[in-house]
Structure 1
Amino acid sequence: MNHLNTVLSVLVITVLIIGCDSEHSTGKQRVRPAAPVEVAAVEVGSIREMRVFSGALEASASFPISPKVSGLIKEIGVDIGDLVQQGEVIATLDDAEYQQALAQAQADLLVARANLMQSESHLTISQRAMQRSRVLRERGVASEAEYDIVQSEQLAAEAQLEVQRAQVQRAESAVETARIQLGYTKVQALWSGDPSPRSVAERYADEGQTLNALSPLIRIVDIDPLTGVFFVSEKDYPQLSVGQVVDIETDAYPNEIFQATIERIAPVFQESSRQARIEITVPNHDTRLKPGMFVRAQVVVKEVAQAQIVPDMALVTRSDSTGIFLLSEDGQTARWRPVQLGVREGDRVQVIGEDILGQVIVLGQQLVEDGSPVSLASFPTE
């Protein structure tokens, strides 16, 4: 009997102990410890969405200078890198043949003028003979046949005079042509538009060479301004417009930005790449930028003046919903706020939603739910 009482006493004590432990354990589950988090302020300000395109610089104008006549090159006055003025003589051809052609044309002109004077004199004589024949016919001394002969001679003299006048005009034209041909032996740099100096990009011939007419001698480029060219896909095409500002970067000048503007947008996409050509105008007054340089063109495609901005690391996806956790005003709990994403700039992103103010949790979000207790902590950075 005493033994039975002892066993019952042990069972009761065990049940009480288990019940106390269970109750204590249940209490621990209900009280969740504060999760350590790190926060950042929700910004309100301007944010821009950028697109970066790779491209290259081209000369805004590029054309060859060629002689208009054939000849031996006697002298070339410019070389690669030199500046050339509008109308400047850049080369001289051997002009002996063209000088001789001019002298021959001038001599032919003198002969034509002499023949003209002779024809004028012959016409004067014919006119006098015509007057005498008319008087004699009226007196009955000369016959009609004699009068007709004199009249035909006058008409022939008039025709001959017209021929000689035409010969003089042709000889004068030949002289002018020979003079122009002679002038072409001095090769000039001529172009339309802006008369400001341009640069020699290439030289194709040397002194002593014989050059055919219209064969390129040098190539001239205009590098102020330059033209930048890049290509965009269908996705980015609607976001670009003529006049948009473009920031240019190149490896030749790291950490330096050059300003440009969109000048032309191709109305068609290339069939091979499904991309459209974009041309920008790049001022280059100091001529530091050169055609052929590769560049990165940054274009602001969208800008919001007053946006709510958070670090992109604050974004959380829960149950297919994107949102953020805000720190409560007392700094004790986390508050879930679903958001829509807007403009993104680097590691900053615009969020659109209601009651987004204060501080946002950027580290430790995986430990919390809506209403979870939190404590501010500093996380080590790698």
Structure 2
Amino acid sequence: MKRTGTIIFLLFIVVAFLFGIRYLWLKDKQDPVVYDTEQASIQTIVRKTVATGSIVPKEEVLIKPNISGIIKEIYVEAGDNIKSGDLIAQIEVVPNVSSLTNAKNNIAAARTAVETAKLAFENQKSIYDRQKALFEKGVISANDFDGIQNSYNQAEQRVKQEQVNYTSAAQNYDIIKTGTTSGLGNAATTQIRSTITGMILDVPVKAGNQVIEANNFNDGTTVATLADVDKMIFEGKVDESEVGKIKEDLPLEITVGAIENKTFDATLDYIAPKGVAENGAIQFEIKGTLKKTDSTTFIRAGLSANASIILQKAEDVLAVKEAVVQYDPKTKKPFVEVEIGDQQFERRDIEMGVSNGIFVEVKSGITKDDKIKVWNQIKAPTGFGGRG
């Protein structure tokens, strides 16, 4: 019984040994693991961040009336190019009853003042004529006559002043009643004229609409919106995580959704010093002035746009994919493995530059002809599917 157990044990050892020999033989027949290689290439690498926003005019002017009334006629429409001083609309004044009554009373008072001044002048003229005759005969002295002449001159001046007051009261009455008066010409308050040269972006009123004048207590009704469409800016927002990476005067590449396959150059010239909370994140406003575009491309105000803010740019530099770069576990310095023989590699420390997340600039450590190990892309042995 004891001998049978020994024989079984020895047979088990022999079988195990034979299986081990077969396993090693099969393993030796498999192809070794093969690493793919890549070479560095010449690339233009741009590191950038993106801001969303829209294209708006650099300066937008709101045209408002300086008198209240009803729009009688509009002479322009959105899209028209006009010059400074061109007529935009005409207002028909609806006079205020109280103001009109006061103006009438002022005219009556001014007319009475003129008549009173004329009577006083006539009386003073009679005295002057008598005293002049006596002075010429030598009856009164020159000093006495000078006093009479001074009173005469004052009476004459008073008549002229009261006539001016009457004319002013009459003009004020006309302005209250009709919005204009004789002698105003282009300055008539019923005529709304452009204050700049540019394009009409919007005319939010129609004939028959009532408008309110702009004053210290009211912004007034906007009759038209104008802007110089040759001076456009990008206006957008960046997240607080990105605002620390940007600075003024950085170049922008603007893409407009409505204009395909075209980019516009701009310069970042404003970053808001204070952020605003939006949807749980702090956003900072930025503005960038677009460079003059060709005459064939018209960018409409309000179009949605994206701005690529170029943080760093390296043109025509030696670069490799970031996937082939390894980092020393102790020093954290970057290196690559360069092929020196058939599937034999050696470590090369490199100095990196600008990266866009896919390619990274290599300033030193390798050449364009070096074959670099793709360490994280191992090809399967041919015994399990063949080389890739």
TM-score, length-normalised on structure 2? 0.67
- 2:321 is matched with 311
Q: 1:107 and 1:222, CA in 2 relative to 1: closer, same or farther beyond 3 A?
A: farther
Of residues 258, 264, 267, the one that matches 1:258 is: 264
**Structure 1: how far apart are the matches of 2:91 and 2:199?**
23
Structure-1 residue corresponding to 2:6: none
1:200-230 Cα deviation digits (max 9, x unpaired): 32422x2233433332223334433222112
Structure 2 vs 1, CA of residues 209 and 233 (structure 1 numbering), >3 Å: closer, same or farther?
A: closer
Which residue in 1 is equivalent to 2:175?
none
Conserved in 2, the CA contact under 8 Å of 1:64 and 1:216?
A: yes
Flag structure 1 segments of 5+ consecutive residues without an equivalent.
1-10, 368-376
User: Partner of 1:326 in structure 2?
Assistant: 337
**In terms of mean alpha carbon deviation, does 121-130 or 39-48 score higher?**
121-130
Aligned to 1:92: 90
Query: Partners in 2 of 1:209 and 1:162 — Cα distance?
Result: 47
Write the distance in 2 (CA, Å) between the matches of 1:248 and 1:363: 38
Aligned to 2:309, what secondary structure does the other structure show?
A: strand
Query: How much identity, in percent, do the aligned residues show?
Result: 17
Q: Per the alignment, do residues 213 and 286 of structure 1 end up closer, same or farther by CA in structure 2, a change over 3 Å counting?
A: farther
Correspondence for 1:292 among 278, 299, 302: 302
Alignment of 1:180-259 (within 5 A): 180=184, 183-191=188-196, 195=197, 197-204=198-205, 206-214=206-214, 215-233=221-239, 236-237=242-243, 239-259=245-265
Secondary structure of the 1:224 match is: coil
TM-score, structure 1 as length reference? 0.68
Paired with 1:201 and 1:232, the residues of 2 have a C-alpha distance of 29
1:281 is matched by which residue type in structure 2?
Answer: T
Q: Match of 1:280?
A: 288
RMSD: 4.6
| Distance in 2 separating the partners of 1:25 and 1:184 | 105
Paired residue type of 1:94: E
Bigger Cα displacement from structure 2, 127-136 vs 275-284:
127-136
Correspondence 1:96-135 to 2 at 5 A: 126-134=127-135
Matched residue, 2:78? 80
Deviation at 1:344, TM superposition (A): 1.3
How far apart in 2 are the matches of 1:240 and 1:231?
12
- Which residue pairs with 2:371 in the alignment? 359
- Give the deviation of 1:323 after TM superposition: 3.8
**Distance of 1:175 and 1:308 partners within structure 2:** 85
Residue pair 2:243, 2:284 contacting (<8 A) in 1 also = yes
The whole-number CA distance in structure 2 between the counterparts of 1:260 and 1:366 is 45
Cα distance, 1:123–1:264 mapped onto 2, change above 3 Å: farther
* Aligned counterpart, 2:178: none
Aligned pair in 2 of structure 1 residues 81, 271: CA closer, same or farther (>3 Å)? closer
* 2:130 counterpart SS class: helix
Structure with bigger gyration radius: 1
